[in-house]
């Protein structure tokens, strides 16, 4: 087996069980390894540290599969790993009965570069690292055995694959997709999932608990949902008894999906829902000019800062949308604001939101700090996995 030898002192992060080995930590590769091959990781003093997947095209040159040098990386390894991930979700009382569920959350579940979401009888798999791509067949077989799913559909079309030297891969890799989009339920709210062309794996399962909280706050309120995608927050607001819900997104297909989702829920009053296709920043300015105001505003924008290098520019964008959010809130109103940018930490995000409130001249307090649902765990040794953060803020 090829051996990846680290520079002196660079074993410290591995000993703390962080799975990434950056290019600047590598002294040399002994032997030949192709993209995705398993290599032994060796400290400068010769200590064996574990086994990793080699990725010569990426700044993350290797990702640890195991911190034990004696663990074989084979089909049985992935069978055990996938089964353990599925079992953890099955044993979590807060996830019982969920028809939409993240089964594998990459590094935080000990399987770097592997993401798998279940939507009813369909599992959507996304492989983002060279090592995961190398073991595609083993991962698919393990998913089928652990879940008994009807189909596994691959959505390995994320831009991060290019950093690993990998081309996009999409398509059914097991079974056949059922006719029509899978439909999942979050409490009484039903929503369809476009596994073929939807964002990411087709749906944002990480916001599940936060959508439900929106419903709890929405009763009797006029609600504004920005970057609404297929209307998850909007539907929960309607189910919670909102007086009205205005939902804005720049994507016509997303809004078409939102309208279909509303139709899946005949108990909801469609007359209380308004859908608007527009650039959210421009729409917020227009709403202010129109003299509109709201009791509850949801700001769930796309990722503005994929890494810390983009934090400064992203901070300005987050500041702008939160400024408009505070300007459009009525006295006593509630702002539910989110960032899914890994390059923006919770402390910085809170400072941005606080700065926006100060600039508008409102006093506000944090009612809740929010994060991803529990099927999106964060590994203690991998704080980078805590990408989603949210604040529920009430103004005077």
Handedness of CA 19, 25, 27, 33 (dihedral sign): positive
How many domains does the chain divide into?
A: 3
Per-residue burial over 42-71, b = 16 or more CB atoms within 10 Å of its CB, e = otherwise = bbeeeeebbbbbbbbebebbbbbbbbeeee
Last residue in a domain, options 14, 33, 66:
66
What is the spatial distance between Cα 277 and Cα 280, in angstroms, rounded to a whole number? Answer: 9
Entry pTM? 0.95
62 and 209 share one domain: no
Q: What is the pLDDT of residues 215-249, one digit of tens each?
A: 999 999 999 999 999 999 999 999 999 999 999 99
Domain holding 117, by residue range, is 75-175
Instruction: Report CA 267 to chain centroid distance, whole Å.
Output: 29
Residue recorded with tokens 């992935």 = 78
Which one, of 205, 198, 77, 195, lies nearest residue 131 by Cα? 77
Below-50 pLDDT ranges, the chain: none
Residue recorded with tokens 């990793």 = 52
Last residue in a domain, options 18, 45, 66:
66
- Residues 6 or more apart in contact with residue 56 via CB below 8 angstroms: 33, 35, 165
What is the spatial distance between Cα 261 and Cα 234, in angstroms, rounded to a whole number? Answer: 10
What is the spatial distance between Cα 172 and Cα 130, in angstroms, rounded to a whole number? Answer: 20
In a domain, 187, yes or no: no
359 and 226 share one domain: yes
What is the spatial distance between Cα 308 and Cα 131, in angstroms, rounded to a whole number? Answer: 25
- What CATH number is associated with residue 170? 3.30.750.80
168 and 242 share one domain: no
- What's the chain's Rg over C-alpha atoms? 22
pLDDT, position 212: 98
What is the spatial distance between Cα 286 and Cα 301, in angstroms, rounded to a whole number? Answer: 18
Q: What is the pLDDT of residues 381-393, one digit of tens each?
A: 999 889 999 999 9
265 and 329 share one domain: yes
In a domain, 325, yes or no: yes
pLDDT, position 307: 67
What is the spatial distance between Cα 69 and Cα 80, in angstroms, rounded to a whole number? Answer: 17
126 and 18 share one domain: no
164 and 300 share one domain: no
In a domain, 126, yes or no: yes
47 and 87 share one domain: no
247 and 319 share one domain: yes
267 and 377 share one domain: yes
Last residue in a domain, options 40, 66, 92:
66
- What CATH number is associated with residue 60? 2.30.130.10
357 and 217 share one domain: yes
Residue 340 is a catalytic residue: yes
211 and 357 share one domain: yes
**115 backbone φψ class: left, alpha, beta (φ>0; ψ -120 to 50):** beta
The catalytic residue among 85, 149, 228, 340 is 340
283 and 359 share one domain: yes
Q: Secondary structure of 285-296 in the HEC alphabet? A: HHHHHCCCCEEE
In a domain, 268, yes or no: yes
């Amino acid at each position: 087996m090829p051996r990846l030898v680290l520079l002196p002192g660079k074993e410290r992060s591995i000993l703390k069980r962080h799975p990434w080995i950056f290019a600047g930590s590598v002294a040399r590769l002994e032997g030949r390894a192709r993209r995705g091959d398993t290599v032994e990781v060796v400290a400068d003093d010769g200590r064996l540290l574990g086994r990793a997947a080699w990725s010569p095209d990426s700044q993350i040159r290797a990702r640890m599969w195991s911190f034990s040098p004696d663990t074989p990386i084979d089909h049985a390894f992935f069978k055990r790993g996938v089964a353990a991930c599925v079992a953890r979700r099955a044993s979590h009382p807060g996830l019982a009965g969920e028809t939409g569920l993240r089964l594998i959350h990459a590094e935080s579940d000990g399987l770097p570069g592997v993401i798998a979401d279940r939507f009813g009888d369909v599992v959507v798999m996304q492989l983002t690292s060279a090592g995961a791509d190398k073991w595609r067949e083993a991962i698919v077989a393990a998913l089928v055995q652990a879940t008994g799913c009807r189909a596994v559909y691959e959505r390995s079309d994320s831009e991060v694959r290019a950093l690993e030297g990998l081309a996009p891969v999409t398509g059914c890799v097991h079974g056949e997709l059922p006719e029509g989009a899978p439909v999942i339920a979050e409490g009484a709210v039903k929503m369809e999932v476009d596994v073929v062309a939807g964002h990411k794996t087709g749906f944002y399962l990480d916001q599940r608990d936060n959508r439900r909280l929106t419903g709890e706050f929405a009763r009797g309120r006029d609600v504004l949902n920005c970057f609404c995608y297929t209307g998850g927050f909007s539907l929960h607001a309607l189910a919670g008894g909102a007086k009205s819900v205005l939902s804005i997104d720049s994507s016509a297909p997303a809004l078409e999906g939102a309208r279909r989702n509303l139709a899946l829920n005949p108990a909801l009053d469609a007359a209380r829902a308004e859908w608007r296709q527009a650039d959210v920043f421009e729409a917020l300015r227009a709403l202010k000019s129109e003299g509109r105001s709201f009791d509850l505003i949801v700001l769930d924008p796309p990722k503005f800062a994929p890494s810390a290098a983009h934090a400064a520019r992203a901070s300005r964008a987050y500041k702008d949308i939160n400024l408009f959010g505070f300007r459009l809130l009525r006295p006593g109103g509630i702002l539910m604001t989110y960032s899914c940018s890994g390059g923006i930490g919770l402390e910085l995000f809170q400072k941005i939101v606080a700065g926006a409130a100060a600039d508008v001249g409102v006093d506000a307090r944090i009612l809740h700090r929010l994060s991803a649902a529990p099927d999106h765990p964060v590994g203690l040794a991998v704080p980078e996995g805590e990408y989603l953060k949210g604040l529920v803020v009430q103004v005077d």
